Structure 1
Amino acid sequence: MIILSSLRQFGTEITDDPHRRPGCLELIKARDTNFVKIINPENLHLIQLLKNQLHEGEAEAIALAQQEKAPILLIDEAEGREVAKSYNIPVIGVIGILAAAKKTGEIESMKTELDSLIQRTSFRVSRIMYDKALEMSGEL
């Protein structure tokens, strides 16, 4: 797994107080076992170009995915997903990951996991997408 170097600040936050945010302990373990690599995107021209229509983090993520020939990019924002697809970068969102986890039996309930994400983090999802996720998972 590759993480943007601009997320280094988040990495510092997790080591200061790993219990502060959900998933921090898992991220520390992944980093310590070299499952996660922190890399700088090199195509600054592409980043500047993408920043005309996307937030900096999304622009960097797309540039890094293209640079590293990533098999898939985790991105939730609709506009970022469309731009990534225009660069032939396959995308998946958090809901897609949860759907795959439900399908393989790694989680029991899409609703439970989505509700937990919404309550414990800054994750947001429209009611339409929430219902669609439950329907895809056979829970609605």
Structure 2
Amino acid sequence: MDERHGRETASHFDIPHLGLIGVLIDAKANRHIEAIQPHLDALQREAGFWISDDLYRRVLRDEGEFQ
């Protein structure tokens, strides 16, 4: 499912939702993963996951991973 479509549908029905990037942030916060960047890179490379350059940098900066 397209993540945007899923968010729109969840919002329509007032269902709380968390996108894939939010799941990665939560996984790092709960120490299930050490870093977000390798997972974002793999998603882009292997699954064709699209993320804007600005959002990519912002997520990594907010999580202390920006190089």
Q: Same fold (TM over 0.5)?
A: yes
Larger relative contact order (C-alpha < 8 A, sep ≥ 6)?
A: 2
What is the TM-score when the length of structure 1 is the normalising length?
0.42
Structure richer in strand, relative to its length: 1
- Which of these two proteins has the greater Rg computed from alpha carbons? 1
Which residue is equivalent to 1:84?
10
How many residues get paired? Answer: 66
Q: Root-mean-square deviation (CA), in Å? A: 1.8
Separation of aligned partners in 2, 1:109 and 1:88: 31
Q: Which runs of 5+ in 2 are unaligned?
A: none
The amino acid of 2:15's aligned partner reads I
Confirm or deny: 8 A CA contact 1:102 1:109 kept in the other structure.
yes
**Residue 117 in structure 1 maps to residue 51 in structure 2:** no
Q: CA deviation at 1:86?
A: 2.9
Runs of 4+ in 1 over 3 A off after TM superposition: none
What is the TM-score when the length of structure 2 is the normalising length?
0.79
Separation of aligned partners in 2, 1:128 and 1:91: 22
Alignment of 1:1-140 (within 5 A): 57=1, 76-77=3-4, 80-140=6-66
